[in-house]
């Protein structure tokens, strides 16, 4: 096997797909709104600790997300975090835990469900507990974003091919424009990571470098952003 | 570029990913229940007519889905269809139509939103109109499946990397075991099709040959299945 | 029976309840936002035509709602309508139709599901089809309101004790402040109408005279309102 | 004021309303299914402790609910509890807390959010945390009930005119038949309690004596019920 050839082949195929998608009317840029919010999906120790079976090394993506959060905090952009945490009483019946029993380690009270400390979550940043893949499914997240009068959701977290993808689809469906800073989403495997970035960029979100998202936040008027969730 | 090499490279990578996912506790088989339902996602002319910009040739997948539906009808397994159809009043404001303006051709009343006639939808098979990617988002589908006392959802339709993927995630999240007969899901591009089958098989559903699904339906007791949606 | 006595008794009881609710921290006024939207619930002929079993004479409430809509249209405030319309394939299985089989007359294609012409619905005002009591349940309404960047929902329609009540609860839960102009909500029976106005005022919405809502809309800056659903 | 006259007047009015609703096709009995589940809404100390501003004396309704739970446990009928518990980070932005700031005492970690001990909740009975009125809104409850293959939901709890009413509407909308044992639902005020029992009985659920629900559970085949949430 020749990786260069493989990569070239993949690049050619992806370029062909991009043309196909363009002809079908996909892949256009989404507007950047005046009231963004930052969503941090499942950067909990169950995913960010490489010593855990469901985890992987996500140090770079965590550092990039911290940069995003810090600028957002400075500009008054609200942030919300999610974590997967099952009630022990649910473990027998939920279909997801038949397909992916590795998730069952994420029970309420386990240290695995805590948000990674490298993100320094603040008291005023809500933590949404979820039992599905999407940050929106079976949670009050859409209502929280609407209550903040959000127009644009910046999605970060793990994993790209799982809960991030599902959350991006739901954020778009819920009425928001979606940005995915590619430096801020992580996965345990490279091929699904890339394949899902491709899908998201074509169909649901702008997948862009972190620097572009930072420039967008930096350009927000201080007052408008600081108005935050207040009416 | 040497496609054989490329394919070999991809196969090796996929095999490695499968090991990784297995260690993380993904990819286990889901139970097959006693009360399945068949979900047909967006096999409307906007997707099944290759002459339309958003369409592609899906003749084989339609024929396979027809085989599934015909056996299901014989066994009393309920079926439900979806189609994307926007109210013209929504075209300016929905975020999806900024990212994927090609979808805006799917307006109510257009011939593009009709279910493909090759599936011969029957009067007793509900048609769910949706304006998002998932068959469940902003629709009463989960309630309909619960009213039928469904335990297992067989998902077919188009496109694998878009509305099928989103619907499979939501079916699982909604409390159902999910089967995807791979012969019955179609896409306009091969790489996203394969990548999404991989994700779904690892995390959300059993992606299996149609014959295996037919054998499962064939083995259902006639009475139990015929009881259908009735209490 | 002496109605005056009865009314006095009721008034005394209601005053006692209001004190009780006040002590429990209910019944406070909600903020009025900068981006309202008008929701018209089920003012379809199945409810507004007194000749129909499920209908009643709602001429006054329709006229009041028309006044509200006309000012909203002038000010660029978006409006959205709902109607109940079942797919014939759902009639056997939906639980609501066991409890309230009178609703089953509201099938797709029936003249009963058309919005009352006295409201002169416009092309740019979406019609949401629902199969439950709430305008939000199993519909994309919350996403539409979020896409419009709505902060305040003005709820009108029928019936006060049924679909209006359920929609008001969901509007509040979905992240919006809710106003109910009492002249614009109608019911077929007086006691449930009054009881539900009381509940809504105490727990979910400001139930106020139409004139107060008109004054609020009249005071909106033309530009902000006209920006409507646009980002 | 003559209470007897008042009551007589009310009874006459209610009888008239019942005739009106009957003619409109409401108030029919709902089927009793084979797989019920018990939902206990907000019997937390914030509502059941009369010393708390939002609470009231609900000792009788708690005792009745305990009888229901005990028989259900014996018969293998699953139970699920809810409690309201806000993340402190949400207190500023949620619309409900503008209208009903008394609810803001129900923050995570407060003793007020604990389920009343008189119900002896068991480890295998999930606790759903909610931030709205309905047990279903922004929670995975519908998915849990579907995962249990539930067909009938027995709703108990507090308050009748608030979270019970909202949960009953959503249970019906979610595809389930709904029973409300009137001995098991409590409110802080009599008039809203009665008015909401009337609405629920007419439109969404069978409001019946606890004894009738106990007889129904007692008549379930042991095996079918014990199968519980298992496929």
In tens digits, what is the pLDDT along chain A, a chain of 231 residues?
344 445 566 677 778 888 999 999 999 999 999 999 999 999 999 999 999 999 999 999 999 999 999 999 999 999 999 999 999 999 999 999 999 999 999 999 999 999 999 999 999 999 999 999 999 999 999 999 999 999 999 999 999 999 999 999 999 999 999 999 999 999 999 999 999 999 999 999 999 999 999 999 999 987 554 444 444
How many A×D Cβ pairs under 8 Å?
71
Is B5 in Cβ contact with A6 (below 8 Å)? yes
pLDDT at D7: 59
Residues B77-122: pLDDT tens digits? Answer: 999 999 999 999 999 999 999 999 999 999 999 999 999 999 999 9
Exposure of D79 in the CB half-sphere (CA atoms within 13 A): 25
Q: Which residues pair with C152 in a beta bridge?
A: C36, C177
pLDDT at A221: 87
Strand A177-181 with A206-208, pairing: parallel
Give mean pLDDT, residues D196-223: 95
Is C95 in Cβ contact with B144 (below 8 Å)? no
Q: Which residues pair with D6 in a beta bridge?
A: none
D47: contact with C, CB 8 A cutoff: no
Q: Which residues pair with C153 in a beta bridge?
A: C37, C178
Is D139 in Cβ contact with A138 (below 8 Å)? yes
pLDDT at D223: 53
| Three-state SS letters, chain D | CCHHHHHHHHHHHHHHHHHHHHHCCCCCCCCCCCCEEEEEECCEHHHHCCCCCCCCCCHHHHHHHHHHHHHHHHHCCCEEEEEECECHHHCCCCCHHHHCHHHHHCECCCHHHCECHHHCCCCCCCEEEECCCCCCCCCCHHHHHHHCCCCEEEEEEECHHHHHHHHHHHHHHCCCEEEEEHHHEECCCHHHHHHHHHHHHHHCCEEECHHHHHHHHHCCCHHHHHCCCCC
Question: Is residue D231 scored above 60 in pLDDT?
Answer: no
Let me know if B184 is a catalytic residue: no
Give mean pLDDT, residues D64-83: 98
Average pLDDT, chain D: 92
Question: Is residue B9 scored above 80 in pLDDT?
Answer: no
Exposure of A83 in the CB half-sphere (CA atoms within 13 A): 24
Query: Which residues in chain D are closer than 8 Å to C176, comparing Cβ atoms?
Result: 95
End-to-end CA distance of chain A: 59
pLDDT at A14: 77
Tell me if the bond preceding C6 is cis, omega within 30° of 0: no
**Ordered DSSP codes for A168-201:** HHHHHHTT-EEEEEGGGEE-SSHHHHHHHHHHHH
Q: Are A158 and A60 in contact (CB under 8 A)?
A: no
pLDDT at A11: 72
pLDDT at B5: 45
Residues B122-164: pLDDT tens digits? Answer: 999 999 999 999 999 999 999 999 999 999 999 999 999 999 9
Q: Which residues pair with A185 in a beta bridge?
A: A157
- Three-state DSSP at C129 gives strand
Structure tokens at B88: 């013209």
Question: Per-domain residue ranges for chain B?
Answer: 32-229
Structure tokens at A115: 């948000």
Is D145 in Cβ contact with B145 (below 8 Å)? no
Long-range contacts of D49-58 (CB under 8 A, 24+ apart): D49/D112, D52/D105, D52/D112, D53/C23, D53/C24, D53/C25, D53/D102, D53/D105, D54/C24, D54/C25, D54/D102, D54/D103, D54/D105, D54/D106, D55/D188, D56/D158, D56/D186, D56/D187, D56/D188, D58/D158, D58/D186
Is B166 in Cβ contact with A205 (below 8 Å)? no
The angle, 0 to 180 degrees and rounded to 10, between the axes of the packed helices C3-23 and D190-203 is: 100
Fold of C32-229: Rossmann fold (3.40.50)
Q: Which of A163, A178, A200, A217 is catalytic?
A: A163
Strand B152-158 with B36-41, pairing: parallel
pLDDT at C229: 44
Q: Which of B37, B149, B227 to mutate to test the interface with D (most CBs of D within 10 A)?
A: B149
Nearest CA in chain C to B96: C147
Residues D124-182: pLDDT tens digits? Answer: 999 999 999 999 999 999 999 999 999 999 999 999 999 999 999 999 999 999 999 99
Question: Is residue D228 scored above 50 in pLDDT?
Answer: no
pLDDT at B2: 40
Q: What is the pLDDT confidence band of residue B7, given thresholds at 50, 70 and 90?
A: low
Residues C94-150: pLDDT tens digits? Answer: 999 999 999 999 999 999 999 999 999 999 999 999 999 999 999 999 999 999 999
Query: Which residues in chain C are closer than 8 Å to B93, comparing Cβ atoms?
Result: 144, 147-148, 229-230
Q: Which residues of chain C have pLDDT under 50?
A: 1-5, 225-231
E-strand spans in C91-189?
127-130, 152-158, 177-181, 185-186
Q: A176 to chain C, minimum CA–CA distance in Å?
A: 6
**Ordered DSSP codes for B84-122:** E-B-GGGTTT-THHHH-GGGGG-BTT-GGGSBPGGG---
Nearest CA in chain B to A2: B5
């Amino acid at each position: 096997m020749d990786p260069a050839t493989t990569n070239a082949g993949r690049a050619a195929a992806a370029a062909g797909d991009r043309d196909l998608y363009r002809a079908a009317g996909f892949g256009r840029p989404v507007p950047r709104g005046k009231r963004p919010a930052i969503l941090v999906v499942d950067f909990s120790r169950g995913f960010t600790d490489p010593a855990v079976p469901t985890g992987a090394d996500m140090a770079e993506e965590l550092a990039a997300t911290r940069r995003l959060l810090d600028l957002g905090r400075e500009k008054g952009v609200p942030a919300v975090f999610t974590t997967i945490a099952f009630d022990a009483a649910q473990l027998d019946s939920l279909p997801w835990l038949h397909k992916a029993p590795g998730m069952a380690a994420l029970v309420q009270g386990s240290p695995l469900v805590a948000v990674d400390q490298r993100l320094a979550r603040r008291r005023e940043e809500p933590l949404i507990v979820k039992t599905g893949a999407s940050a929106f499914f079976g949670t009050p997240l859409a209502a929280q974003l609407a209550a903040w009068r959000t127009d644009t959701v910046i999605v970060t977290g793990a994993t790209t091919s799982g809960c991030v993808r599902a959350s991006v689809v739901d954020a778009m469906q819920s009425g928001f424009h979606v940005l995915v800073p590619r430096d801020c989403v992580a996965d345990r495997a490279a091929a699904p990571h890339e394949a899902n970035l491709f899908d998201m960029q074509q169909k649901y979100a702008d997948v862009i470098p972190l620097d572009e998202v930072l420039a967008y936040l930096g350009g927000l008027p201080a007052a408008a952003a600081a108005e935050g969730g207040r009416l």
